[in-house]
Structure 1
Amino acid sequence: MSHGLHRFGSVSVLCVMAAPAEYGLHLQARIQPLMTGVGPVEAAVALTAALARLEAAGDLPDLIVSLGSCGSRVLDHAAVYQAASVTYRDMDASALGFAKGVTPLLDQPAILPLPCPIPGVPTATLSTGANVVSGAAYDAIDAEMVDMETWALVRSAQTFGVPLIALRGVSDGRAELKALEDWTSTLHHVDENLAAALDRLIAVLEADGLAALEIPAFEGQDPAQLSPDSITP
């Protein structure tokens, strides 16, 4: 395994995470991810550089799997969700007549859909931006969860023609954030649940390969209908 590359069945997978704090014992037992650093700029720079090196070596992955934490004030605490879509909350060129979230002069919609191939793992919408969202700041965000990397990772992956799956565990959001510990205190639970979701993804990839990405989200994966226990193997 190098540069976060793994092989699950016939599928070559690059696993990507942002911060070592999210990389707990359960994930350590399964993967060696590419660490990008926090925020959309670091994520885009690190992943693009890694993919360029892999492409030059003739070792471009078939799939990128992004794993990490997120904030949400509506989803279950410590539960893991597949990101069904992602938006870029920092982009606002509405003064020039563009819809909020649409990057000017780029042929991309404001909402990018993502594959959700894992049965039993609920789905949710995701918003990416450079700010840590807390308290009343959620009022301005339509998505069910927030992070700081996924949109950037998706755009980097698109540049190389590689699909991306994003798995996010809810680390915070119900209460106002006041210290770093308000984020890190839940990460050991998130790590365990991310590992369980990853095991399910590995099983799907080993059984169906990349064809699994073409399967629509399974009925019953509404996050409002599933508990965190539903992803326990």
Structure 2
Amino acid sequence: MMLIKQFPDITLADTLFVFALEAEAGSVFSHVNTVFTGIGKVNAAIALTKAIHRQRPKLIVNLGSAGSQRYGKGEVVCCTRFVQRDMDVTPLGFARYETPLSDIPVLLEHGQAIPGLPQGTCGSGDSFEVNHGESPYDIVDMEAYVLALIARSEGIPFVCLKYISDDAGSDAAGDWSVQVHLAAEAFQRALFDPARQSE
């Protein structure tokens, strides 16, 4: 498995693979520890917190579909930076995306880069975004930010790979419903392909 290079002391048995939906995992990940959180930051927070206390993983790997106007459909991008894109308390004088009265930075950095994969910044929010041209993120999803935040607070290494299913534009919903089923095979190639392990 490709991740062994980054985490030589962590076994597959100690790794937790986190998906929002079973469709993103297919049957490819039936042999590993998985949790399916459901859609959105609240569901993701509840499911991952329960899984951590139940399984005590040494590594969390979030795999999921996402939209992007920078990366093409079918690409797998490694996200190492995260923004809570629907946090907006600007009327009270806070910066956009800033969580008030907390020590959480606007740009949350907690993730391991994977050699050979492009790196992106993921904006997570409880909406299906169709336009993010001027935003400080180049990938949009609905869960990764809170997963990274929880992993950081628990002191657990985190890997986040996103399969680009749509361009986060006007055709995003239709593209997502077609592309999401191809995600598992793309993740399999990125993580388990012997040719990539030699990179």
| TM bracket, shorter-chain basis | 0.7 to 0.9
In the alignment, which residue of structure 1 is the partner of 2:4?
A: none
The CA deviation at 1:91 is: 0.9
Distance in 2 between residues matched to 1:96 and 1:109, nearest whole Å: 17
The CA deviation at 1:140 is: 5.1
Larger-gyration structure (1/2): 1
Q: Is the 8 A contact 1:79 1:190 kept in 2?
A: no
Distance in 2 between residues matched to 1:84 and 1:161, nearest whole Å: 15
The CA deviation at 1:112 is: 0.9
Q: 1:96 to 1:190 in 2, by over 3 A?
A: same
Please give the per-residue CA displacement for 1:167-222, whole angstroms capped at 9, x wherever unaligned.
0000011651375x431211233222111122269x87xx9xxxxxxxxxxxxxxx
AA partner of residue 115 (structure 1): G
TM-score (ref. length: structure 1): 0.73
In the alignment, which residue of structure 1 is the partner of 2:63?
A: 67
The CA deviation at 1:138 is: 2.1
Show structure 1 runs of 5+ residues with no match.
1-7, 55-59, 208-232
Distance in 1 between residues matched to 2:163 and 2:121, nearest whole Å: 13
Distance in 2 between residues matched to 1:111 and 1:178, nearest whole Å: 25
Please give the per-residue CA displacement for 1:111-134, whole angstroms capped at 9, x wherever unaligned.
011333321111111100000012
Q: Is the 8 A contact 1:27 1:194 kept in 2?
A: no
User: CA RMSD, aligned part only?
Assistant: 2.5
In the alignment, which residue of structure 1 is the partner of 2:9?
A: 10
In the alignment, does 2:140 pair up with 1:155? Answer: no
Show structure 2 runs of 5+ residues with no match.
1-6
Distance in 2 between residues matched to 1:153 and 1:93, nearest whole Å: 22
Percent identity, aligned pairs only? 35
Q: Is the 8 A contact 2:84 2:124 kept in 1?
A: yes
In the alignment, which residue of structure 2 is the partner of 1:49?
A: 50
Query: Which residue, out of 20, 23, 28, partners 2:22?
Result: 20
Which deviates more, 139-148 or 84-93? 139-148
In the alignment, does 2:173 pair up with 1:172? Answer: no
Q: Is the 8 A contact 1:27 1:192 kept in 2?
A: no
In the alignment, which residue of structure 1 is the partner of 2:92?
A: 96
Runs of 4+ aligned structure 1 residues displaced above 3 Å come to 25-28
AA partner of residue 71 (structure 2): L
TM-score (ref. length: structure 2): 0.84
Query: Which residue, out of 107, 113, 126, partners 2:109?
Result: 113
Distance in 1 between residues matched to 2:135 and 2:26, nearest whole Å: 29
Q: 1:184 to 1:79 in 2, by over 3 A?
A: same
